[in-house]
Amino acid sequence: MKKIDIKTTDQEKIVGTYARYDMVADHGKGAVCVDEEGKEYIDFTAGIGVNSLGFCDDGWVRAVTKQLKKLQHVSNLFYTEPQTRVAEILTARTGLCKVFFSNSGAEANEVAIKAARKYSNNKYGNDINWITTLENSFHGRTMAAITATGQENYHKDFYPFLGNFSYCKPDDIDDLHKSINDKTCAIMLEVVQGEGGVVNLNKEFLQEVESLCRQKDMLLIVDEVQTGIGRTGTLFAYEQYGIKPDIVTFAKGIGGGLPIGGALFGEKVCDVLGPGSHGTTYGGNPVACAGALEVLDRMDDAFLKGVAEKGEYMKKKLNAIPAVVSISGLGLMLGVEIKGKEAKTAVAEALKKGLMSLTAKDKIRLLPPLTITYEEIDKGLKILEDVLK
């Protein structure tokens, strides 16, 4: 292959939807990424919460390559063992009943929206189809998922959207009551709003949402695409709020780096979608599922407790940095409000010094791999501290 200038060619040949950071990633191991010039970076991004076991974890590579040599794809017209096993584990660990597998978070939310509308259509007739989501939420980039996303900047160039969505201010119980009507079939939310700036919702609000859903037979859909699969110190974040969703969507962290997502359905909804009502060619692909099996297998109670402890440790150290104003989030999903410079600038400067990190709104967002060591955490935080001086 002839040598190419990756940055220039990328900018010429790839649609410019991403404002990429100034780094060409070449390879990685654990929480360390190496660029094309051989420079090392501590990774506080995990590929936006995807590489839960870090880069190229040995067990994960073994599991994935083993499946890759056996059967890479066969379509959902046939049964496969890895997909069945992932479903078995997810349902056993959540008490929910059935899974639909997709390839991404947006697609996971699509099926959740379709299932919610079909549930109510079946039961009450075709006009019970309104869905309430929250302002400042993020549910993905497909047309239904951006309709659900309660942020005008994602909407502005793409009208018209799906009808019959309404938006509620997070943590505002009065507004919650105003945002539903007698045609509402579901309420959909993230328990910690990720892209919205790592905003934790409060427990009373979530419990009010749940109780309203029960009273009015609306479905509670929790989007755990970012918060799920161990990220917050429990398998799913909703577990920490004492609520029981009817539908839980997941994606990012489950495949350990391979594209897979899905929706878990509780008792009420698990038989709503029958043959022909929904589908996808790749969803629950056996190689991605082999990766997911390794991720889930590693995520036992001790591992999850470790995630919570590392999160507390990071919070404590971050709090000691004078430029840090506040810290939000749960487990290893942290939002850091800073003063003195913009988060965007701090993240770019940190990258130059060897730390990969993210922003969410005007905060620095940290989503390290769940397997990160304390030594790596210290190294990364030292860089952040230098940048924030």
Ligand X SMILES: *Cc1c(COP(=O)(O)O)cnc(C)c1O
Query: Using the rule CB under 6 A, is 140 a contact of ligand X?
Result: yes
Judged by CB under 6 A, the residue of 223, 246, 294, 376 near ligand X is 223
Rounded to whole angstroms, the Cα distance separating 53 from 58 reads: 9
Q: Nearest to residue 318, comparing CAs of 365, 360, 372?
A: 365
Print the binding letters for residues 251-290 with ligand X: x by CB under 6 A, - otherwise. xx--------------------------------------
Least spacing, CB of residue 266 vs ligand X, in Å: 19
Among the listed residues 204, 200, 270, the one whose alpha carbon sits nearest the alpha carbon of residue 237: 200
Residue 5 CB, nearest distance to ligand X (Å)? Answer: 28
Q: Is residue 380 a contact residue for ligand X (CB under 6 A)?
A: no
> Going by C-beta distance under 8 Å and a sequence separation of 6 or more, which residues neighbour residue 365?
194, 198, 333, 334, 335, 336, 357, 358, 359
- Token pair, residue 231, equals 């990220």
Residue type, 49: G
DSSP-derived 3-state class of residue 137: coil
141 is in an annotated binding site: yes
281 is known to lie in a ligand binding site: yes
Interacting span for ligand X (CB under 6 A) from 65-73, 76-84, 110-118, 188-196: 188-196
44: annotated binding-site residue? no
Residue 325 known to bind ligand:
no
Residue 223 annotated as lining a ligand binding site: yes
State how far the alpha carbon of 87 is from the alpha carbons of 236, 261, 285, in Å: 15, 12, 13
CB nearer to ligand X: pick between 190 and 376: 190
Using CB under 6 A as the binding criterion, the count of chain residues that bind ligand X stands at: 15
Q: Could you say whether residue 230 binds ligand X (CB under 6 A)?
A: no
Residue nearest to ligand X (CB): 105
Candidates 29-37, 92-100, 220-228, 363-371: pick the segment binding ligand X (CB under 6 A): 220-228
- Both tokens assigned to 196: 């919205």
Among 57, 110, 190, 376, binds ligand X (CB under 6 A): 190
**Per-residue DSSP letter, 97:** -
Q: Please, where are the H alpha helices in 98-202?
A: 105-124, 143-148, 152-155, 173-179
Q: Could you tell me the two tokens for 144?
A: 């239904």
Q: What is the distance between the alpha carbons of residues 83 and 88, in angstroms, rounded to a whole number?
A: 9
Structure tokens of 230?
A: 């161990």
Q: Which letter does DSSP use for residue 273 in this model?
A: S
Q: Are 360 and 334 in contact (CB under 8 A)?
A: no
d(CA 26, CA 18): 18
226 is in an annotated binding site: yes
**Nearest approach, Cβ of residue 47 and ligand X (Å):** 11
Distance CA 364, CA 318 (A): 11
Indicate whether 139 belongs to the interface with ligand X (CB under 6 A).
yes
Q: In terms of residues, how long is the chain?
A: 389
Q: Which of 94, 136, 226, 328 binds ligand X (CB under 6 A)?
A: 226
Q: Which residue type occupies 292?
A: A
Min separation Cβ 190 and ligand X, Å: 5
Which of the ranges 21-29, 132-140, 331-339, 377-385 carries the binding residues for ligand X, by CB under 6 A?
Answer: 132-140
Q: 3-state class of 11 per DSSP? A: helix
> Quick one: 324 or 356, whose CB is closer to ligand X?
356
The DSSP line for 237-264 is GGGGGT---SEEEE-GGGGSSS--EEEE
Binding mask 98-117 for ligand X (x = CB under 6 A): ------xxx--x--------
CB 199 → ligand X: shortest distance, Å? 12
Work out whether 225 is an interface residue with ligand X (CB under 6 A): yes
> Is position 343 annotated in a ligand binding site?
no
Closest separation between CB of residue 189 and ligand X, Å?
10
CA-CA distance, 327 to 338, in Å (whole number)? 9
Cβ closer to ligand X: 151 or 226?
Answer: 226
Please, what is the minimum distance in Å from the beta carbon of residue 100 to ligand X? 15
**Which residues are annotated as part of the binding site for pyridoxal 5'-phosphate?**
105-106, 138, 223-226, 281
**Which residues are annotated as part of the binding site?**
105-106, 138, 141, 223-226, 280-281
Q: Applying CB under 6 A, which residues contact ligand X?
A: 104-106, 109, 138-140, 190, 194-195, 223, 225-226, 251-252
**Which residues are annotated as part of the binding site for N(2)-acetyl-L-ornithine?**
141, 280
